[in-house]
Amino acid sequence: MASVPITDMAGIRQQLNAMGIGNERIGFDKNSGYVTIDGQAAIRPAKVEAGVSYATPADIRNQLNQFNFNQQLANLQRQTQNYGQQLQNIEQQFLQPQQQTNPYDQQVQSLLQQIQQMTMNQQPIDPYSTPQWAAAQAQAQRGAQQAIRGAQESLGGSGLARSSLVTDRAQNIQNQANEYLQTQVVPQIVQQIQAERQQQLSGLYNLLGALSGQQALADERARAERNQLADMLDYLSGRETQQREYAYRTIRDAVEDMRYDERMAYQRERDRIEDERDKRNFDEDVRRFGLQYALQQQQERRLAANAAADQALARARFEYQKERDRIEDERYERERLAKQQPGLSDEDLRLEASEMIAAIRSGQLTPAQALQQINDDEAVGIYSASNANFLRDQLARVAPTTPATTNNTQSQSVPVDKSDKEIEAEARRLGYPTLDYRSWYKSPNGRAAGIDFATWQRLYGPRIG
C-alpha cells in the first residue's frame, strides 16, 4: 500500500464515534490488523501509530459501508434460512405425517367383533342344563315326595296303604310336579336367559357408542392438527416469500447506495482535481495577464461548470424517474395480466404442490421433469402465472439447483454472444434488473442451461456485482 501522509488521515475511532458508533462497540484485532465493530472485522487501517489507527475519511466511509452491507446481508440470509427451515419442518410433517393410530380404533374393532359373534353365533338356550333348572327340579321333587308321603299316611290310616289308590295318587302328584316344571319353570328360565343376553348386548352397544364418540373426537383432533399444519405451511410460505422479496429489495438498495457513495467519492476526487487545475490556471492567468483577468476567467469557468453540472443532474433525474415509471408500469401490467389468467384455487394449488413434492421424494418424478411439467401446464393455460410461480417456488425449496429447460421466451436454444451493453439494454426493455439479468445471461446455470430469467432469479437469488 502506498504511504499516505498522516495529515491526510483521520483517527478511525474518532470517525466512527462521529458516525454514532460508541467506543464499547469498537475494538482492534492484533492478529488480523483490523479495527472491529461488535467483534467483527470492519476497517483495515492504513497506519497504526502510538496505538491509534488511521485511514482516510473516504476509505473509512467506504469500508464501513461495505461492513454494514455484509452484516445486513448476513442477517437477511439468517432470517430467510430460518423461515426456510421452519417451512421445511412443517412441510415434512404435512407431507409425511407420523403414522399415528387412533387409540380407540382397536377397541372399537374388538367390540364390533364381539357384538357380531353374539348376534350371529348365538347358541340355543338349553334350560335343562342351567343351575336354575337343577334347583327348581330338586325343589319340585322334594315337594312331590312330601305330597306322596302325606297321601300314603292319609290312606294308610284308612287301611288302604297297599291299595292301587296310593300308587295312582303318587303318580298324579309326580305328574303335576313335572307339569309345573315344564309349563312354569322352563319358560321362566328361558325368559331370564334371553333378558340377560339382551342386557349384555345393550351394554356392549352403549359401550360401542361411547368408544365411537371418542374415536370420532380423536379423528377430528387429528384433522384439526393437520389443518393447523396446512395453515402454518401457508403462513410460513408467505413469510418466506416476503422475506426473500424484502431481502432482494434491501440488497439492491444497499448496492445502489454503495454505488452512489462510490460515484460521489469519485466526483469529489474529480472536483478536487478540477479545483487544483483551476488554481493552476488561475495562478498562470495572474502571472500572465493580471489579477482582474484571472478572476474574470475563473468566474466564467465556474459558471460554465455549474451550468453543465446542473444540466447533467437534471438529465440524470429525468432518466431515473423515467426508468422507475417504466418499471412500475411493466410490473402493474404483469400483475394485471396475471389476475386475468385462469388457474387453480388455493386449496387445489396446495394439493398440487403436495403431490408434486411427494412424487419427487418418492422418485416418481425428477425435479427437472416437475419444472418442465409446470412450464408446459402454464403454457396451455392450466396454471395461471401466479400458480406456476408458486409451484416453482415450492420446487426450488426441495431442489434448489434444478437444471430444467423452460418454454419461457427469455430462454434461448441457440447461444448468441452479446456485449454487456446489449444485455443491459435487453434487460431494461424487459423490465428486469440489469445486473441480475447480465449474471443470468452469462451463468452456466442460467440461460446456457435453458432456465428462464424469472426461474433463475428465484432459484439462485440476486447476484451482486
With respect to residue 226, please indicate whether it lies within any of the assigned structural domains: yes
pLDDT for the residue 233: 67
Looking at 233, 259, 281, which one is the last position of a domain? Answer: 233
Whether 2 is covered by a domain: the verdict is yes
Same domain, 69 and 156: no
Residues 117 and 68 grouped into a single domain: no
pLDDT at 164: 61
Is there a single domain that holds both residue 75 and residue 160?
no
Q: Are residues 18 and 111 in the same domain?
A: no
Q: Residue 58 domain-assigned?
A: yes
Residue 309 lies in a domain: no
Looking at the chain, the number of H-run helices and the number of E-run strands are 13, 6
Rounded CA-CA distance 181/188 in Å is 10
Domain membership flag for residue 37: yes
Can you tell me the distance from the alpha carbon of 378 to that of 401, in angstroms, rounded to the nearest whole number? Answer: 21
- pLDDT tens digit string along 268-317? 777 778 778 878 887 877 777 777 777 787 788 778 877 877 887 788 78
Residue 360 domain-assigned (yes or no): no
Residue 37: per-residue pLDDT: 92
Q: Show the cell assigned to 423.
A: 444485455
Model pLDDT, residue 280: 82
Residue 344, classed as helix, strand or coil, is coil
pLDDT of residue 6: 43
Domain match, 25 and 75 both: yes
Instruction: Indicate whether 78 and 192 sit together in one domain.
Output: no
Residues 91, 199, single domain; the answer is: no
Q: How far apart are CA 360 and CA 362, in angstroms?
A: 5
Q: Model-level pTM greater than 0.85?
A: no
Residues 86 and 181 in one domain: no
348 vs 354: CA distance, rounded Å:
10
Range of the domain at 66: 1-99
Give the helix ranges, DSSP H, for 380-461.
385-398, 420-430, 434-442, 453-460
- Domain stops at, among 99, 133, 159: 99
Phi, psi dihedral angles at 336 (to 5 degrees):
-65, -45
For 2-39, the pLDDT digits (tens) are: 444 444 688 999 989 988 899 999 999 888 899 999 99
* In a shared domain, residues 3 and 25: yes
Residue 205 and residue 113 share a domain = yes
- Note whether 10 and 37 are same-domain residues: yes
How many distinct structural domains can be found in the chain? 3
Does residue 63 sit in the same domain as residue 157? no
What CA–CA distance (Å, rounded) separates 95 from 232? 13
Low-confidence ranges of the chain (pLDDT < 70): 1-8, 83, 91, 93-100, 151-167, 229, 232-243, 246-248, 334-344, 362-364, 380-381, 400-417, 444-446, 449-450, 456-465
Residue 460 maps to a domain: yes
